[in-house]
Structure 1
């Protein structure tokens, strides 16, 4: 019997506390995580590491926000990778704005872990 390793999840979030908490939850579920607090670094890492299977992207970051990051991802070599927008913005229309910008799905903070796990199952190979 062979076991397959789940694809790596990339977390891009400027708040290291969010990364710490989410990584702890995901690792406890058997996922491997790559993290960065810089959107530009995240785009570079995504291009360099083919094992990344999905991106959890904070939409509100300094320097380069999630919308610009999504645009760069969708124009790069990994343009087809699933991206889940993660944001504290939960106003009417925010989900649609994220999807129109190129995200596959959207979750609001604080993150409902069950909802996130359902999305991961849907989008990971």
Structure 2
């Protein structure tokens, strides 16, 4: 059974790095080391990593974890060797994000809107096509 659950934070679907590490069968601190090692690459390609400090119960060092967006989580997962457990984890991650998107669509009652930059590109292309048609 998969422990991966996706939630929405600041209008972005994310997964807790602790859940991904658990699903991969590795220690979370090892997973965070991978995030730290590739942080600049991840942030350049897929956006800023959202690290938080977990609340602790009792004594001990609070754990640092990340809320990973879909692309970030998938990229980090590709860095792992494809053992049976890792392959299952990758599949579960994809399914969890797909289910979360589906649930959002059902709650919103419509299809997701394209990114604002995509919408602006489409509007610009439509305007250019309209200008060409008027010139004919």
TM-score, normalised to structure 1's length? Answer: 0.30
Higher alpha-carbon Rg:
2
Could you say which structure has the higher helix fraction?
Answer: 2
TM-score, normalised to structure 2's length? Answer: 0.29
